[in-house]
Amino acid sequence: MDKNFDGTAGGAQIVGMDVGDEVPEFLQNILGSFGLSRGEKGELIKDYLGVSNLKDVTRAYKRYPYTFKMAVSNALEDLSARAKAIKKTSDPEGAPISCALDDGGGAFEDAVFGGEFDLDGETVRAVIESTSPNQQGIMGPGGLFGGNYSLFSVYTKKEYGAVSSNIFEIVDGFIDTKNPLKGKIIDIDGNEVEFGDFDWDDIAVPDFFKTEAEDNMIWPITHYDKMKAAGLRIPRGLILEGTRGMGKTLLSRIIANKVKGSGTFIRAKPSDVQRLGWDYVFEIARTLEPCILYIEDIDTLTPSKQKLGGLIDSVGDPFLTDALDYIDGTEERGNVLILASTNVPDAVDLGVIDRPGRIDRRLIFDPNNLKDFGTEWKENVFEIHLRGHRLEGNLNASKLAVMIGGQPYTGSHINELIHTATLEAIRSLNVDDASVEMMENIVLTEDNFRNARDRVERILKRTFGTPEVF
């Protein structure tokens, strides 16, 4: 290996830090698909630590979910500041280093960062290595390679072993107390998700839906200590099920906004779970507790016997078994609450997952249930969606709710009804001749809604497929 450390070594860029140099963000230093081989890495570590045999080196190892790339990166910046700024030199035992490593076979992408660290009043020369499994979907945001920190190691001389473990304490401190992901709404990759400023006045649901959401999702995060002090069992989870367009996604966003700051809300798509596996998903969730793990379209992960034609026993499915190990608590999941949703509850083997001790609450969004989603509910939906619209005379949300009566309207259908009524009003004004000002001051009439109802209910008949309901 070329040991001229003021240039390149085996294809890896070695970065020296002069006194006064601004230490670059760690992620910026490790991008690139070519670098040292695994063997050359060993030579680099030996030379840098000043040992002739790797047996004289202590390797401490930990693993972090790659969603912590921000926290670990911040920790490495802290360690960079602790590293002595030694003037660049050709001496391999001189300047701090940062380089990319390539296994050649595409199995791993490594990054090495080295320096003399001031830890507890002692100076320790160490090399820090991060390694990311090269799997589709686990690549860092800055490029195809690096930046995920799935594996994290520290190499030092054996006599430094005890002190160098403090490097992990620094990283742990950022993970536990300074993690920038905690208290936020994120996806499973650690990217912050914007859910809008939705609150209870933005959704029409039966009162007991709000009660169940608060009791089983929100309070266990925002008032955990109080619930424990009252001797309450912390709930395990909640399923939102039913027809599309009834507010399941909106309710999940309201829950996320309510717990934001007190706990983390993690959104996981079925493709994320299938890609990463339940073990890794729950590893992420546990290290961000208290948190809510929101799994969309859970029906794709927990198929019923009926859906599989009776050929496969869903209880015996290994993928589902792994999930139940955590949901049951066989594998300790910590203060992680499960929020799941499905648009096709018939495709879910609910007998497996929706019992006390697993996911023990269900909220069913069913437009055919006129007790919970009848005229009063429709009136509330109209009031929300009519914001910004003008109605004629004595026309109001109550009259419009009565107009559509016992039809199985979803919230989306009601929104579509208002949209279509507006189009009817525009048509009556002759859109070619109307001004923008006229459009801004348009007034919706009862006739507009009646005409719109005839159009929308054709959609309803196609959706629900039972003409006798009408």
CATH of the domain at 204: 3.40.50.300
> Do residue 36 and residue 88 come from a single domain?
yes
Q: Report the pLDDT value the prediction gives residue 135, as an integer from 0 to 100.
A: 41
> What backbone torsions phi and psi does residue 360 show, to the nearest 5 degrees?
-100, 10
Share of the chain above pLDDT 90, in %: 35
Q: Is 79 domain-assigned?
A: yes
Q: Is 194 domain-assigned?
A: no
Q: Is 189 domain-assigned?
A: no
> Do residue 388 and residue 325 come from a single domain?
no
> What is the pLDDT confidence band of residue 359, given thresholds at 50, 70 and 90?
confident
Q: Lowest-confidence range among 154-158, 326-330, 378-382, 423-427?
A: 326-330
Flag whether pLDDT at 322 surpasses 80. Answer: no
Flag whether pLDDT at 101 surpasses 50. Answer: yes
> Do residue 208 and residue 302 come from a single domain?
yes
pLDDT (tens digit per residue) in 223-238: 989 988 998 887 778 9
Read off the DSSP letter of residue 294: E
User: Stretch 435-461: mean pLDDT, rounded?
Assistant: 88
100: enclosing H helix or E strand: strand 97-102
3-state secondary structure at position 401: helix
> Do residue 96 and residue 220 come from a single domain?
no
> Do residue 318 and residue 385 come from a single domain?
no
Q: Is 184 domain-assigned?
A: no
Flag whether pLDDT at 339 surpasses 60. Answer: yes
> Do residue 361 and residue 380 come from a single domain?
no
Q: Report the pLDDT value the prediction gives residue 128, as an integer from 0 to 100.
A: 87
> Do residue 358 and residue 383 come from a single domain?
no
Structure tokens at 41: 């890495």
Flag whether pLDDT at 86 surpasses 60. Answer: no
- Amino acid (1-letter code) at residue 80: S
Crossing angle for the helix pair 375-385 and 411-429, to the nearest 10 degrees: 50
Find, among 155, 214, 448, the residue nearest to 337 by Cα: 214
> Do residue 167 and residue 34 come from a single domain?
yes
**pTM (whole model) above 0.85:** no
> Do residue 26 and residue 161 come from a single domain?
yes
On whether the CB atoms of residues 33 and 144 are closer than 8 A, the answer is yes
Flag whether pLDDT at 207 surpasses 80. Answer: yes
Specify the CATH number for the domain of residue 401. Answer: 1.10.8.60
- Expressed as residue numbers, the domain containing 350 is 200-365
Distance CA 291, CA 285 (A): 7
Distance CA 68, CA 72 (A): 6
Q: Report the pLDDT value the prediction gives residue 352, as an integer from 0 to 100.
A: 61
> Do residue 396 and residue 326 come from a single domain?
no
> Do residue 281 and residue 308 come from a single domain?
yes
Domains in the chain: how many in total? 3
Q: Is 229 domain-assigned?
A: yes
